[in-house]
Amino acid sequence: MNKETIGFIGLGNVGLKLAKNLLTNKTKLYLFDINSKKYSNFSKKNVYKCYDIKLISSNCSIIITCLPSPHSIKKVINSLLPHVKNNQLWIEMSTTDSDEMIKLSKLFIKKGGKVLEAPITGGEHRAKSGNISILAAGNKNSFNRAMPILSKMGHKILYCGKLGNASILKIITNYLASLHLLGIGEALTVSKKYKIDLGLVYNAIKISSGNSFVNETETKVILSGSYDVGFTMDLVNKDISLFNKLANELNISVSLGKITNKKFKEAMKILGKRAFSTSIVKLLEKDNNIKLRAKNFPKKLIDFENKRKGIKIN
């Protein structure tokens, strides 16, 4: 890893945390974000704050992107394409459209570059601790080259085969998380109406067949009243739309996908694009004249485990 010079584009809620985990005394890290205020989070001497995206391509052997939408990824890569160097590796870590990812990858490879998609999953709190999971797809040699870098940012790293696979799998996992969030909201509402303590409900679900990652994380900030998962309505709507697009392309009937899409679109219209995705349960609270609260639950999610070694999993 020390021989590679890394450029990181996109310092949003997650990208900022991933970039910080790459910092070592020996690693040169070039940063770019359209919001220059993000640079104030970095002070090490070997961090280079770029105000022109071309400087990333000129100085870096590896370029990492972590961006909010397929449109923003396309815009960035189109800006980089004229400057791609032979054997330069692009690692795309966003949640994006698999078709668009493949199209951009072909253009990047045609210029002499290499491409690996590596979307993350597991929550903003694990991105901060470096224990996030990573789904990687692309050429196996590119994966092996990227592994020392991915292991700095994540813990469980799964190689998923050809380009496009990781983007599809990330969309599927995000869809399932959104679907379960709707179920959690309804389950808590029924429990509240039956006057069962919601702290007890959380623990009952946690030890039951109904448990999930969503319950163990997002339920906590719902019950505390903060709803703070660092993931917003516009992003969840993008992901569900991408899931339904995947299904539509092969004429697959996904009734739950359509229902989930409808519910979150309604919630975004009422609550706003930047409301936390967990805020969708506020609509249930309003309709049923209740508050889904319990004592001793955190306002923010924190991964208290120390950074674990990045490992390849089968």
Cβ–Cβ under 8 Å, residues 40 and 185: no
Task: Note whether 36 and 60 are within 8 A (CB).
Answer: no
- Residue 122: pLDDT band (50, 70, 90) is very high
Which CATH number describes the domain made up of 6-162?
Answer: 3.40.50.720
| R_g of the chain, CA atoms, integer Å | 20
pLDDT value for 64: 98
How high is the mean pLDDT of the chain? 96
Over range 147-165, report the average pLDDT.
97
pLDDT in tens, 18-62: 999 998 767 889 999 999 899 999 887 789 999 999 999 999 999
d(CA 299, CA 236): 21
Distance (Å, whole) CA 185 – CA 204: 15
How many whole angstroms separate alpha carbon 40 and alpha carbon 305? 27
Q: Are 132 and 155 in contact (CB under 8 A)?
A: yes
At 90, give phi and psi (nearest 5°): -100, 125
CATH 1.10.1040.10 fits 168-288, yes or no: yes
Give the model's pLDDT for residue 3.
78
pLDDT the model gives residue 2: 52
* Mean pLDDT on 240-263: 97
Query: Given pLDDT bands bounded at 50, 70 and 90, which one contains residue 1?
Result: very low
Tokens for 11? Answer: 């310092």
Indicate the domain borders of the chain: 6-162, 168-288
pLDDT tens digits for range 161-177: 999 999 999 999 999 99
Alpha-carbon distance of 161 to 158, in angstroms, equals 9
Share of the chain above pLDDT 70, in %: 99
209 CB-near residues (< 8 Å, 6+ apart): none
